[in-house]
Amino acid sequence: MAAVTAAHGTDAVRRFYEAFGQRFHVELGTSDDVNRDAVAAEALADIGLLAPCIDAATDQRWDGELRSLTRAALVAVGLDVGVPITLIDGVATSGPVLSEIPRGDAAVALFDATRTLVRQPGFVRLERQRIGALHVA
């Protein structure tokens, strides 16, 4: 991600993130035994960035930056939560985690509801078991 950001900007990061997520979460079922470097290579190829970026997966020069970004995110949200980490109105939170991507009015309603929750000083967590398969259409 750091190499894609540095070389191609945030739009490329979004495309890589989506391509990786499609392969890893939807096609491969988020399995722990998946070769993430191979998934990254396929996702980079999907968006036309394989050649300039795949070597970053094993290039240690990115390690310091990735540790710094991770540390900053965890300091903001705390060590006892997971990813994704979002920042809404200056409040860092873990989530939301979704099995479907809302679009249009549904996306706006979800954002508004999430914003309402994170603005509550005492709000900590809302979870439920995943129901059904992931949908990313």
Residues written for the chain: 137
Q: Please answer whether residues 105 and 87 qualify as being in contact, where contact means their C-beta atoms are separated by less than 8 angstroms.
A: no
CA distance 33 to 122: 38
pLDDT at res. 75:
84
**Secondary-structure percent of the chain, ordered helix, strand, coil, rounded to 5:** 55, 5, 35
Per-residue pLDDT of the chain (137 residues; tens, 9 = 90+): 889 999 999 999 999 999 998 898 888 877 788 898 899 999 999 999 987 788 888 889 999 988 998 888 888 888 887 778 888 888 888 888 887 888 899 999 999 999 999 999 888 888 878 777 777 66
Model's pTM, two decimal places?
A: 0.69
User: So what's the pLDDT on residue 137?
Assistant: 61
pLDDT at 82: 77
- Residue 30 is predicted with a pLDDT of 77
Closest CA to 55 of 7, 87, 14: 7
Q: How many Cβ atoms sit within 10 Å of the Cβ of residue 124? A: 8
